[in-house]
Amino acid sequence: MTRKTNDNIGRFGRSFFSKKLGFAEYGADLEDLRTRDYERRTMTIDSKLLKPQIQKDFKVKTDLVAAYQILAHLGLDDHTYTHLSSRPSGADYYYIYLFGLRFEEVTFGNLLQVDLQGRVIEGEEAQYNKTGYVLHGNIYRARPDINTIFHLHSHAMLTVATLEAGLMPLSQWALHFYDRVSYHKYDSLALDDNRQGHDIIKDLKNNYVMLMHNHGAMICGKTIQEAMFYTHHLQQACLVQIMVLSTNQPLIIPPKEICEKAVLDLLNFEENLGNRDWQAWLRKLKLTK
């Protein structure tokens, strides 16, 4: 399923990144990425030499690597069993990690470029990840507004996804998702691009977050920053729900009209949803070095 490419990004990437930024073979190890400043001081200067589409790919790839590293630091990975992807806005391809890596092993150089039908355009995979390509490809094909997808198996998300009640409005974290969470019945591994892919799209509806029964979560966003924002709040909401229900005490749930107001207030509090938090995550990542 792997094929080589001679597109501009591939040719330009291998020559430019190795000569101008010190990357080796269209990539860098984690030390390179950290020391070259996630805040874009040097990358912004150098990216001006890139063609517009290559600039977009460069930013998506560096941000996606950061997302893998941040989620690894937070313990929201699951060895080699979950995956994150992102694409330049409107692109008919996306970037995803090399199947078999742990999140902290993901670098600029080992991301794969995959088209929306699951064909590897650039990079070489060790093992074809059909389930990942079915999930990500179908969502990108059906939802042009979505440019990032995180598939996670956190214990807290999985626990809430296994409850018949699903996510409950028990905290302000949970109110970010009031009446905006989809649910998907467990259907073994996603190997059928047609039937299972169709069911995933049907169940996701117009939402950005879907709890998958007995499995985990699909968290989407218009940007990587937005997906990370939803991921943080969903994880916190699930943790609090588990703790609250464990008390076996009567629950205080805000009235419907307050919940409806809260979700609008929380999601419209600022422009570029998630960007402020993203900058803080990048600073945190640098401090972990």
Please tell me the predicted confidence (pLDDT) of residue 124: 84
- Any idea what DSSP says for residue 2? B
How much is the pTM? 0.82
Give the pLDDT score at 190: 77
Phi, psi (deg, nearest 5) at residue 112: -100, 145
Domains of the chain, each with CATH number or no CATH: 8-287 (3.40.225.10)
Structure tokens at 35: 């020391």
**What does pLDDT average to in each consecutive run of 10 residues of the chain (289 residues)?**
40 32 35 39 47 86 97 95 94 94 94 94 84 91 97 97 97 98 90 82 96 97 98 98 97 98 96 94 88
Q: Exposed, middle or buried: residue 201 (CB in 10 Å: 0-12, 13-18, 19+)?
A: middle
Q: What is the pLDDT of residue 284?
A: 92
pLDDT score at 9: 37
Contacts of 17 (CB under 8 A, 6+ apart): 23, 26, 27, 28
**Is the distance from CB of 150 to CB of 210 less than 8 angstroms?**
no
